[in-house]
Homo-oligomer: A and B are copies of this chain.
């Protein structure tokens, strides 16, 4: 894709300096070829710029000091990456139109401009908005509704009666609307027992699991993106909900009945168990686990690997297993590391006091 730096500067709402050159792509400074813009998005990249090149630089950096012959100057380089990568993304989907090897129920309504790949299956009463790009092997269950500009990658599954807003991005082999993991035993189960007894099992007995069916759907807002092999289960009676603008990474699990707020980020392999509510702008790092039936307030940030067993108030920054305030966790680790010295000090004190007593 060929762009001039003037095009790029316009796309990024930035200014440019130097000669106008056509570019056919972007690269990291160390790898930049003669026809590529070098992305020097942080100070570490500046020494790697090749003289005679063209660079994306932070405002305030002098292109000539690094031997550049042209530059786009941006106020927030990481944000500029968003615009720049969007500009260069060929965004190639399946060919326009509906592939003859797709099977679409005659009652389904597909908006204008759709590109639907081979071996796609779309069920009864489905409604999909305009400009959908649906790659091969996708299945969409009966009466699902998806907004405009959806991008759905190969092998993803959207089950029956799921509703999704505009500009949805769903990655390969992710599954929206599988059944919840919800079972009950005819008698009180061991799990219920230990909740009542603080962890002691009073008696051991047969327990067979009876299935609770999932009648609720999944409701997803606008501008949501969900990663590869992620799983969002449907609700039992009410819907599982994912708010507008929230992004879920690969292999994330959201259990039945959960409500995830708006503008959240859930990183890879994070999991939220059933019926938990997560506020707005919450960030869960990779592998974070959240117990069922709890509440995470707005703006909470949990570091990678945190296990959250109880409610978390709004705005808290947490880490560890069990989750505590990040500062508390760091201090607890320090205290644990200092224990060998403490054991020595106490042993010395015991000896000293024993001597004092003996003397006394």
Contacts and interface: CB of A to CB of B under 8 A. Distances in A.
Interface in A254-292: 255, 263, 265, 267-269, 271, 273, 281, 283, 286-287, 289, 291
B304 A273 contact: yes
B307 A304 contact: yes
B173 A173 contact: yes
Contacts of A208: 245, 263
B346 A339 contact: no
Contacts of A319: 199
B286 A201 contact: no
B291 A271 contact: no
A207 interface: yes
A196 interface: no
Contact of A236 (B81, B191, B265): B81
24 contacts: A26-B237, A28-B238, A78-B184, A79-B210, A82-B213, A85-B236, A101-B103, A119-B119, A159-B172, A175-B228, A181-B227, A194-B301, A198-B327, A201-B315, A204-B281, A204-B314, A287-B287, A287-B307, A331-B340, A335-B336, A335-B340, A345-B346, A349-B349, A356-B360
Contacts of A86: 211, 213
A31 to B, nearest CB: 6
Interface residues of A, number: 133
Interface of A: 25-28, 31, 39, 76, 78-79, 81-82, 85-86, 88-89, 91-92, 101, 103, 117-119, 121, 135-137, 139, 142, 153-155, 157, 159-160, 169, 171-173, 175, 178-179, 181, 183-186, 190-191, 194, 198-201, 204, 206-215, 225, 227-229, 231, 233, 236-238, 245, 247, 249-251, 253, 255, 263, 265, 267-269, 271, 273, 281, 283, 286-287, 289, 291, 298-299, 301, 303-305, 307, 309, 314-315, 317, 319-322, 325-327, 330-333, 335-340, 342-343, 345-346, 349-350, 352-353, 356-357, 359-360
